[in-house]
Amino acid sequence: MTTDSSTARPALTTLSDDELAFRDAVAAFAAGEVAPRVAQMERDAKLDPALIKAYFEMGLMGIQAPEAHGGAGGSVMMVTLAVEEISKVDAAAAIMVDVQNTLVANPLLSAATPAQLARWMPKLCAETVGAYALSEAVSGSDAFALQTRATPKDGGFVLNGRKLWITNGAEAGLYVVFATVDPAKGYKGITAFVVERPAPGFSVGKKEDKLGIRASSTTELIFEEVFVPAENVLGQVGQGYKLAIAALNEGRIGIGAQMVGVAQGALNAAIAYLKERQQFGRPLSEFQGIQFQIAQAATELEAARLMVYNAARLKDSGGDIAQVGAMAKLLSSQVCERVTSLAVELFGGYGYTKDYPVEKYYRDAKIGTIYEGTSNMQLQTIAKGLLK
């Protein structure tokens, strides 16, 4: 079976010539650098360090960062395109790029002082993987019920607690960590800190063994009397919740792009297979029942893609993306589940084996309804926006 990354790719009129060129460059990178590594990374449950190095060399780890700090000075739309193209090949490889450019870069670009930007951003663009540490065992959807404490101490704060489900946890050298300086103040006690590795008392704990996106590290972080100097406070003390929400709002656009990419990768593989697979003396692609199913899938997928692109455009124009970002993530994750499930069915028995790619797309799809806000939390956000 052969696959073509352009198969079933709609004609996009929403992108500029520069954006199309960027998208195609990332697609070529994904085909040349990511695709040959996918099977081994899946078996190892680990991203190839050589691929991570190639991300930095390609400029994919600092897309929105200012050129003065080694970044590309690009847009959320460019991040969206990069994540989508890599996800067509491997969602696990894509999530590292997504987290770096949304959850890590967003709070730094919005709240870091000039000195902090000069200190951290060049590293993130050139060599250092970042991670976003909000979730804990008792604070998932109730994100601000976190227990990690930041106790004031001369010249800074001491962190104690544990974080869970941290993407890029194993590879990161810089962590945006959220802790409370005063539990009595609720969410208004939450503060953002930048913790650099290694730091005395800080360690990476259990690495999760997951259903999908297996090559992406998802880890526990342990803080035991970790001293963080005052100059590592990001933004204002007690205002960390605002940074956390803003980062997640942008991050949901990235997850939407990831889900669109996964669904497109699965649909591409299915269409290529349907053209080759013969039953009853003709290709499966000639059966009208099959044609209608892929037409429906492609239509839903294009709707999800345009919703994600709309959210990215709105973010780049300075608009409020809380509601449209939630809509984009909700729809794209739902569509991805449907399309990848259909792809497995269209492959028949082969679709259920690891000899063909669609079983992996199917497993990778599930996370989209869970991380960076479950589907129920997206529905709640959308409803609040409609009813306020």
Q: 7 in a domain, yes or no?
A: no
Residues (pLDDT < 50) of the chain are 1-8, 11
Q: 19, 42, 337, 372: which is the annotated catalytic residue?
A: 372
Do 256 and 197 reside in the same domain of the chain? no
Q: Are residues 170 and 193 in the same domain?
A: yes
Residue from 356, 354, 121, 98 nearest 216 by CA: 98
Task: Provide CB contacts within 8 A for 75, sequence distance 6+.
Answer: 63, 64, 312, 316
* Whether residue 137 sits in one domain with residue 124: no
pLDDT tens, position by position, 289-321: 999 999 999 999 999 999 999 999 999 999 999
Report the amino acid identity of residue 52.
I
Q: Give the dihedral of Cα atoms 202, 206, 212, 217; nearest 10 deg.
A: 30
- CA 287 remoteness from chain centre: 37
Q: What is the pLDDT of residue 237?
A: 97
Catalytic annotation on 372? Answer: yes
- Looking at the structure of the chain, the number of domains it has is 3
d(C-alpha 224, C-alpha 379), whole Å: 37
Q: Work out the mean pLDDT of the chain and round it to a whole number.
A: 95
Tell me what pLDDT residue 144 has: 83
Residue 1: inside a domain: no
Q: Provide the pLDDT for residue 320.
A: 96
Residues 84 and 34 in one domain: yes
Q: Which amino acid is residue 79, in one-letter code? A: V
32-36: long-range contacts at Cβ-Cβ below 8 A with a sequence spacing of 24 or more?
A: 33/58, 34/86, 34/89, 34/90, 34/93, 35/89, 35/90
Q: Kindly report the CATH number assigned to the domain that includes residue 232.
A: 2.40.110.10
Asked whether residue 11 is assigned to any structural domain, the reply reads no
The reply to whether 141 and 124 lie within a common domain is no
- Looking at residue 2, its pLDDT comes to 41
Rounded to two decimals, the pTM is: 0.95
Q: Which residue has the tokens 């894509």?
A: 94
CATH of the domain at 28: 1.10.540.10
- Residue 177 near residue 244 (C-beta atoms within 8 A): no
Question: What is the domain range of residue 50?
Answer: 17-129
Same-domain check for residues 259 and 382: yes
Residue 233 falls inside a structural domain: yes
- The 3 state secondary structure assigned to the chain is CCCCCCCCCCCCCCCCHHHHHHHHHHHHHHHHHHHHHHHHHHHHCCCCHHHHHHHHHHCCCCCCCCHHHCCCCCCHHHHHHHHHHHHCCCHHHHHHHHHHHHHHHHHHHHHCCHHHHHHHHHHHHHCCCEEEECCECCECCCCCCCCCEEEEECCEEEEEEEEEEEECCCCCCEEEEEEECCHHHHHHHEEEEEEECCCCCEEEEEECCCCCCCCCCEEEEEEEEEEEEHHHEECCCCCHHHHHHHHHHHHHHHHHHHHHHHHHHHHHHHHHHHHHCEECCEEHHHCHHHHHHHHHHHHHHHHHHHHHHHHHHHHHCCCCCHHHHHHHHHHHHHHHHHHHHHHHHHCHHHHHCCCCCHHHHHHHHHHHHCCCCCHHHHHHHHHHHHHC
pLDDT at 141: 87
